[in-house]
């Protein structure tokens, strides 16, 4: 066994057998922001065979405080997070297969994204996508490592189809308080702790240490020195995910043509399936300051808003959270 993993192998619950198991497993990391970068870093260093990282966003300077895989150069180059994460992780451990996908997670592609994976790690920043992941995991029988971090607070749980309730049972639709990192901030140690809790449960599961899995929804506040553990209860009898198996988020498109990105002061518009960035750079350079990379085109308007065009047909209208205003700008500059 390689010296790279020697200290992990010395840990008796893993040992050589557990290390061999890790090197045969595949994990989907949904989101390459704060939680996703920490989680994927741990997984890659631990030697998990294949890591699939999915994220729709690009690196910005405000990410650098807590999203540990990215550098100032990544932000300067406006690299998609999935691309920047893949590049950095390959430098950390070239033995691991790393697949960075620049796309949105939707009801149309979620099952394909989960094809062949043994477990899913939540690195998202909104409950719509989390419920979608929850539905897909329980439909396909794949464990789901949930996590969330905001301000100085964090929470995590590990849900196993057929053995535990699901996320919807523990956190019903609409139960969130609406706070996000962009409205109330977040300190990096909270992110590190939540993602580390997620990965620890994943490692237990992948090495067949099921007896050691936590059976709770763990929450804490690092600043206020508080922690609370809520035992995973019996499934809600009429839960539409794990009981009636209606899986509502798999049948209702999470991604509408127009959607406000939670806490991001941005509206995403997806009305076509392709943009030629070269062509659009030429079109928009007469009315905006244009910056183009192989992965996206950024058009900064005199009015203060910014349009970010992606090759897959998505547009982010940054600087507003008003869908009506975003529609107006889109129709005026891109066309309906």
Which residues are known to be catalytic? 181
Residue of 61, 7, 67, 1 whose CA lies nearest to 32: 67
Question: Rounded to an integer, what distance in angstroms lies between the CA atom of residue 205 and that of residue 96?
Answer: 19
If we measure between CA atoms, which residue out of 180, 121, 120, 119 comes closest to residue 149?
Answer: 180
Whole-angstrom Cα distance, residue 113 to residue 97? 15
CA distance 328 to 336: 10
φ and ψ at 141, to 5 degrees? 75, 35
Cβ burial, residue 128 (10 Å; 0-12/13-18/19+): middle
Q: The tokens 């609370």 sit on which residue?
A: 228
Give the long-range contacts of residues 215-220, CB within 8 A, separation 24 or more: 215/164, 216/157, 217/155, 217/156, 217/157, 217/170, 217/171, 218/155, 218/156, 218/157, 219/153, 219/154, 219/155, 220/153, 220/154, 220/155, 220/193
Residue 332's DSSP bridge partners are none
Indicate the pairing of strand 26-30 with strand 50-55.
Answer: parallel
The Cα–Cα gap between 9 and 19 comes to 7
Length of the chain: 336
């Amino acid at each position: 066994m390689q010296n790279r993993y020697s200290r992990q192998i010395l840990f008796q619950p893993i040992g050589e057998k557990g290390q061999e198991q890790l090197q045969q497993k595949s994990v989907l990391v949904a989101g390459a922001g704060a939680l996703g970068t920490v989680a994927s870093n741990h997984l890659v260093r631990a030697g998990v065979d294949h890591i699939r990282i999915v994220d729709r966003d690009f690196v910005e300077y405000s990410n650098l405080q807590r999203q540990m895989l990215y550098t100032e150069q990544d932000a300067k180059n406006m690299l998609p997070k999935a691309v920047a994460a893949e590049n950095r992780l390959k430098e950390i451990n070239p033995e691991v297969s790393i697949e960075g996908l620049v796309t949105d997670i939707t009801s149309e592609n979620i099952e394909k994204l989960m094809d062949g994976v043994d477990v899913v790690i939540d690195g998202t920043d909104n409950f719509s996508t989390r419920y979608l992941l929850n539905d897909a995991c329980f439909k396909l029988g794949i464990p789901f490592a949930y996590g969330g971090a905001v301000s100085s607070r964090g929470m995590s749980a590990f849900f196993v189809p057929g053995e535990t309730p699901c996320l919807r049972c523990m956190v019903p639709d609409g139960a969130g308080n609406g706070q996000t990192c962009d409205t109330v901030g977040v300190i990096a140690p909270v992110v590190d702790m939540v993602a580390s809790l997620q990965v620890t449960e994943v490692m237990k599961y992948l090495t067949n240490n099921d007896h050691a899995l936590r059976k709770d929804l763990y929450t804490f506040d690092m600043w206020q020195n508080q922690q609370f553990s809520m035992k995973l209860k019996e499934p809600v009898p009429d839960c539409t995910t794990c009981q009636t198996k209606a899986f509502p988020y798999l049948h209702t498109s999470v991604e509408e043509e127009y959607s406000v990105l939670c806490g991001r002061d941005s509206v995403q518009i997806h009305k076509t399936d392709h943009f030629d960035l070269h062509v659009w750079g030429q079109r928009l350079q007469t009315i905006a300051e244009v910056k183009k990379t192989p992965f996206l085109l950024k058009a900064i308007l005199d009015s203060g808003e910014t349009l970010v065009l992606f090759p897959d047909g998505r547009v982010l209208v940054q600087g507003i959270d008003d869908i009506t205003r975003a529609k107006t700008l889109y129709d005026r500059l891109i066309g309906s």
